[in-house]
Amino acid sequence: MIAIIDYNSGNVGSVKNAVERLGFECIVTANAKMILEAEKVIFPGQGRAGSSMEQMKATGLDKVIKSIKNPFLGICLGMQLLSDFSEEDSTKGLSVIEGSVERLDVDLKVPHIGWNKVSLRKIDPLMKGVQDGSFFYFAHSYYFKAKLQNEVAVTNYGRCFASVVHKDNFYGVQFHPEKSGSSGEQLLNNFLNL
Amino acid sequence: MEPLKNIIIPAIDIIGGKCVRLTKGDYNRIKEYSQSPISVAKQFEEEGAKFLHVIDLDGAKKGETVNLETILAIAKNTNLELQVGGGIRTFESAETLLNNGVAKVIIGTSALEDKRLLKRLITTFGENRIIVSIDVRKGKIATRGWLNESDMGLKVFLESVKEAGVKTIIVTDIEKDGMMNGPNFAMINEFSGNGLNVIVAGGVSSQKDIALLRKNNLAGIIIGKALYEGTVTIQEAQNDLARRIIPCMDMKDGRVVKGTCFKELKDAGDAVELGKLYSDMGADELVFLDISATLENRNTLCGLVEKIAKTINIPFTVGGGVRTVEDIRRLLNAGADKVSIGSAAVKNMDLVREASRTFGNQCIVISVDAKKAENGWKLYIKGGTEETNLEAIEFSRMMEECGAGELLVNSLDRDGTKKGFDIELLKKITDTVKIPVIASSGAGCLQDFLDVLDKAKVDAVLAAGVFHYGDIKIQELKNYLWENNINVNI
């Protein structure tokens, strides 16, 4: 079973739809036992870092996530919360993947909304069959300043920032694979088949 | 580390410990830009660069690394990924750099003269850490700090570096270097598609050069003088965001208004079927506007949004009659990615503030209906039927301040006319706000889309009729824009 974490912070429906379109069964849940028993866990993010983190602490989800041993995918804010710290609302993160989340302080329009190129830095099972330089859909104002060794792919938007990260069983993507057409489906399918 | 696509690599050339640029590789035509290459590197990093191209020009001339201390200090004091070249002609000199924080070494002359060294480096450090630099002058390969010319032709040379196991090359046209008059595109074409990762250097001088180069599927673009002279900034150069093409569907009582001419559709009024078709046709996003937008239709709309969300895998925005935070929540929960707010934003700006705070500004789109007046543009509400006392540009600015994530700008003068977008209006708005702007109203032909993207610098273009009736196919439009150097997700 695939668990999609629901922490009452925005729309998890589109992730559920995408997983189901790929032929996998999934459950949207905040139940610790279900999350820990799931073969794969997806952590979608929307909304703000501060309120999301508060919500997770209140429900104990913060500790649950840190103890997950199976493949885990954080999407957008769900990726950013894996960091040590986010500038958004000065939020302490889950410290699963080293690095901090900073505001996109660029001379371009923020939020960074739309389709942008994802360039591979290394071979990673998550990106199998995804053509280097493929476009994915982004919608965010903060970016993950990750350590080089955890960067799988980067994207250019004023800054060159990590758009895919990976450490141990934890994966994170800044874009929305569930909204990124066939490239996004390929990525999700890779994750679900890990 | 794998070679990347499309990276922007600022360049630092060092002579006597200082940061300089040469013109056409001529050591007699030096311009000094800074006493401290380290502070230049830090500045590049601060601006958002991730990579750095460092050439030891003294080293290139002498045939051994001269400015080692400076180079290693850059590696130590920044998080930039360094590729370093200039005079690396022995295994030991490459090793010193690669073991002390330099990510990649660039081998030039010695690749020509010492194939065994090249093979040994690749075996020891891996193919991704060794780059071969090819300096071309009038179609021939130049070596020794560009002072000599080799007789070897390009093709023969390329075959031999490939055979040595090289994966990435840097191609520099010396005649173009430091000239600021654009790269040699003809030469670049010769190199692309030969199975190697090609990084281009020499002559990149404007944002347009970069846009053109981006189309060549290069591994990287090295920029030198243009950054120092300020004709290009790192931030402008590092932008691969595509402009979006968005079909819009007006809906009434759960059905698409105005039938469409798609033969593929069984029911032209079925929003789910049409949405799926657009998604498959390469639309970057979809917009659904419920023009009936009455309370009793709200449930119909949510049900429809749910069905569409299950079917398509691109983002979609839903609007029409959104009045409260609760309305927004319902639509988002049903599967909309963004919600467009119209009249309610004018009457109650706090709604925009609260919505943005609650859901994040990336999902709040404000619809701006403008009509030309004597001075500027008047803002209209209720689907363009009611004039307000607000000015449209000023309203746009206010909405940005309230936390809008995007503006969807309609021109009541152009809507349905097929006479082209209101470029003047849109340009005023993109000059005023720093959030994405979607241009709507007036699309008639391919050129209209190009004009508004090019002249008004909008982020996305939206149209209904021309797409519905099949006058313009989305893929055809994208190909046309791509040909005209607009970055699209093709």
Residue B179 has pLDDT above 90, yes or no: no
Query: What residues of A are in contact with residue B360 (Cβ under 8 Å)?
Result: 10, 46-48
Q: Chain-wide mean pLDDT for chain B?
A: 89
Burial of B67-98, coded b for 16+ CB within 10 Å and e otherwise, reads bbebbbbbbeebebbbbbbbbbbebebbebbb
Residue in chain B closest to A16 (alpha carbons) equals B310
- Of A17, A110, A156, which has the smallest distance from its Cβ to B240's Cβ? A156
Domain-embedded: residue B342: yes
Q: Is the backbone peptide bond immediately before A125 cis, with ω within 30 degrees of 0?
A: no
Q: Do residues A171 and A191 lie in contact, with contact meaning Cβ atoms separated by under 8 Å?
A: yes
Task: Judge whether A178 counts as a catalytic residue.
Answer: yes
Domain-embedded: residue B49: yes
**Which of the listed residues B237, B260, B280 is the one where a domain comes to its end?**
B237
- Least confident piece of the model among B69-73, B77-81, B266-270, B409-413: B266-270
Q: What is the per-residue pLDDT for B1? A: 42
What percent of chain B clears pLDDT 90, i.e. is strictly above it? 62
DSSP A85-136: EETGGGEE---SSSEEEEE---SS-SSEEEEEEEEESS--GGGTTPPTTEEE
- Of the pLDDT bands very low, low, confident and very high (cuts 50, 70, 90), residue A127 is very high
Residue B375 has pLDDT above 90, yes or no: no
B253 and B362 fall within a common domain: yes
Q: Report the residue of B234, B241, B285 to disrupt the A interface, i.e. the one with the largest count of A CBs within 10 Å.
A: B241
Q: For the purposes of burial, counting CB atoms within 10 Å of the CB of B483, is it exposed (0-12), middle (13-18) or buried (19 or more)?
A: exposed
Q: How far is CA B456 from CA A30, B242, B422, B449, B452, in A?
A: 46, 15, 9, 10, 5
Mean pLDDT in residue range B373-380: 93
The per-residue pLDDT for range B297-327, each reduced to its tens digit, is 666 788 889 999 999 999 999 998 899 999 9
* End-to-end C-alpha distance for chain B, whole angstroms: 27
Residue B259 has pLDDT above 70, yes or no: no
Q: What is the per-residue pLDDT for B146? A: 47
The per-residue pLDDT for range B76-86, each reduced to its tens digit, is 999 999 999 99
Residue B191 has pLDDT above 90, yes or no: no
Domains of chain A: 2-192 (3.40.50.880)
What is the 8-class DSSP label of residue A111? S
Domain-embedded: residue B17: yes
Token pair listed for B450? 């190009």
B337 and B297 fall within a common domain: yes
Mean pLDDT in residue range A135-154: 94
Residue A132 has pLDDT above 60, yes or no: yes
Q: What is the per-residue pLDDT for B144? A: 52
B386 and B469 fall within a common domain: yes
Q: What is the per-residue pLDDT for B264? A: 64
Domain-embedded: residue B488: no
B233 and B277 fall within a common domain: no
Domain-embedded: residue B1: no
Domain-embedded: residue B465: yes
Mean pLDDT in residue range B327-339: 90
The per-residue pLDDT for range B18-31, each reduced to its tens digit, is 999 988 888 899 99
Angle at B44 between CA B40 and CA B49, to 5 degrees: 150
CA distance B304 to B335: 10
The per-residue pLDDT for range A87-112, each reduced to its tens digit, is 999 999 999 999 999 999 998 999 99
- Of the pLDDT bands very low, low, confident and very high (cuts 50, 70, 90), residue B109 is low
Residue A136 has pLDDT above 70, yes or no: yes
**Which of the listed residues B191, B212, B237 is the one where a domain comes to its end?**
B237
B220 and B286 fall within a common domain: no
Domain containing residue B46: 7-237
Query: What residues of A are in contact with residue B238 (Cβ under 8 Å)?
Result: 156-160
The per-residue pLDDT for range B114-167, each reduced to its tens digit, is 888 999 999 999 999 999 998 887 777 776 544 555 556 677 778 888 888 999
B198 and B312 fall within a common domain: no
B232 and B253 fall within a common domain: no
B401 and B428 fall within a common domain: yes
Q: What is the per-residue pLDDT for B93? A: 95
Domain-embedded: residue B398: yes
The per-residue pLDDT for range B423-449, each reduced to its tens digit, is 999 999 999 999 999 999 999 999 999
Residue B350 has pLDDT above 50, yes or no: yes
B185 and B333 fall within a common domain: no
Task: Determine the 3-state secondary structure of A154 from DSSP.
Answer: strand
**Which of the listed residues B214, B237, B260 is the one where a domain comes to its end?**
B237
Task: Judge whether B253 counts as a catalytic residue.
Answer: no
Count the helix, strand and coil residues of chain B and give each as a percent rounded to the nearest 5: 40, 25, 35
Q: Which residues pair with B137 in a beta bridge?
A: B140
- Of the pLDDT bands very low, low, confident and very high (cuts 50, 70, 90), residue B196 is confident
Domain-embedded: residue B490: no
Token pair listed for A183? 């490239």
Of residues B192, B82, B4, B53, the one with CA closest to residue A156: B4
Q: What is the per-residue pLDDT for B261? A: 53
What percent of chain A clears pLDDT 90, i.e. is strictly above it? 84
Q: Report the residue of A4, A6, A14 to disrupt the B interface, i.e. the one with the largest count of B CBs within 10 Å.
A: A14
B200 and B258 fall within a common domain: no
CA distance B204 to B226: 7
Give me the number of domains chain B comprises.
2
B233 and B250 fall within a common domain: no
Amino acid identity of B51? F
CA distance B339 to B288: 10
B306 and B226 fall within a common domain: no
Alpha-carbon Rg for chain A in angstroms: 15
Domain CATH code at residue B315? 3.20.20.70
- Least confident piece of the model among A142-156, B1-15, B356-370, B401-415: B1-15
The Cα of B48 is separated from the nearest Cα of chain A by a number of Å equal to 4
Of residues B151, B318, B192, the one with CA closest to residue B251: B318
Give me the sign of the Cα torsion angle A46, A52, A56, A62: positive
CA distance B229 to B250: 49
Enclosing H/E stretch for B170: strand B168-173
Residue A161 has pLDDT above 50, yes or no: yes
Query: What residues of A are in contact with residue B459 (Cβ under 8 Å)?
Result: 109, 113-114
- Taking CB atoms and an 8 Å limit, are A10 and B241 in contact across chains? no
